[in-house]
Structure 1
Amino acid sequence: MYTFVVGVDTDADRARRQAETITELPLAAESVSVVLLHAFQENSAGGTVEQVKPVREARERLQDAGFDVQAEGYGGDPATAILNVADSHDADQIVVAGRKRSPTGKALFGSTTQEVVLGTDRPVLVCDG
């Protein structure tokens, strides 16, 4: 079984693009497992990953394409969450969505995508943001 860990934020368009990218890969869906991960940086209301609309939409697209999908919520820093969940599932690949920012913006504010790419030895697929 080939396992993807997909970091999903609150942007539905990015989540849709991530799901579409996976469904377009030349893989047999029945041999692929997808873990959709949403990192809650603040969750004082006690929300669950099932309440995050982009996660639900990505899961629906992937399940409709025949993939085995599960969703997980994680508290804290998104990059750390993605790396930890990838390790716990022994993921074959991590999927993140890039954001369109200037080079200066990336240098000043950092980037979850950059932290994930630099923080793992696993392949990372960066979808168009």
Structure 2
Amino acid sequence: MSTIVAGIDTDADRARALANGIVTLPGADGTDVVLVHSFDENPEGASVDQVGSVRRAREILEEHNIDVTLDESSGDTATGLLDAADKHDAELIAVAGRKRSPTGKAVFGSVTQDVILSTDRPVLVCGTSE
């Protein structure tokens, strides 16, 4: 595998689960990972490298000799992640799923579901042990 695009939100547990899921993939040591964070609102003008969960995922990946690039977007998270996958010609998209009820998914939608249904690329969904 050469490039994985991974969506990172602000939850540290999901970021750790995602990074740990990536490092366990066969051939991960020769992989480039693009960590993508989508800002819903960013009045302070923060950058992706200031997001704690992104920094933690980066640390885990770099500890396993995986090259990491940071990317950021604003607006719809799924769209930002899919655009980054196109931009970086990713072979795989990785996301961290959340446990939600069927009603919660219907009412609020799901980034993971949107990504899976909107791409032809393989999608790795990593869960936490919650």
In which range does the TM-score fall when normalised by the shorter chain?
A: over 0.9
Residue-by-residue CA offset, 1:97-126 (whole Å, 9 max, x unaligned):
111001111111110111000010000011
Matched residue, 1:5: 5
Amino acid at match of 1:48: S
Cα distance in 2, alignment partners of residues 83 and 105 from structure 1: 23
Cα distance in 1, alignment partners of residues 8 and 28 from structure 2: 23
After TM superposition, the score normalised by the length of structure 2 is 0.95
Asked if 1:86 is matched to 2:85, the reply is yes
Identity of aligned residues (%): 58
After TM superposition, the score normalised by the length of structure 1 is 0.96
Cα distance in 1, alignment partners of residues 40 and 76 from structure 2: 6
SS in 1 for 2:27: coil
Matched residue, 2:19: 19
Matched residue, 2:69: 70
* Residue segments in structure 2 that go unaligned for 5+ positions in a row: none
Please, what is the CA RMSD of the aligned residues?
Answer: 1.0
* Residue segments in structure 1 that go unaligned for 5+ positions in a row: none
Cα distance in 2, alignment partners of residues 2 and 22 from structure 1: 12
Aligned residue-pair number: 128
Cα distance in 1, alignment partners of residues 27 and 107 from structure 2: 38
Matched residue, 2:33: 34
Cα distance in 2, alignment partners of residues 72 and 56 from structure 1: 12
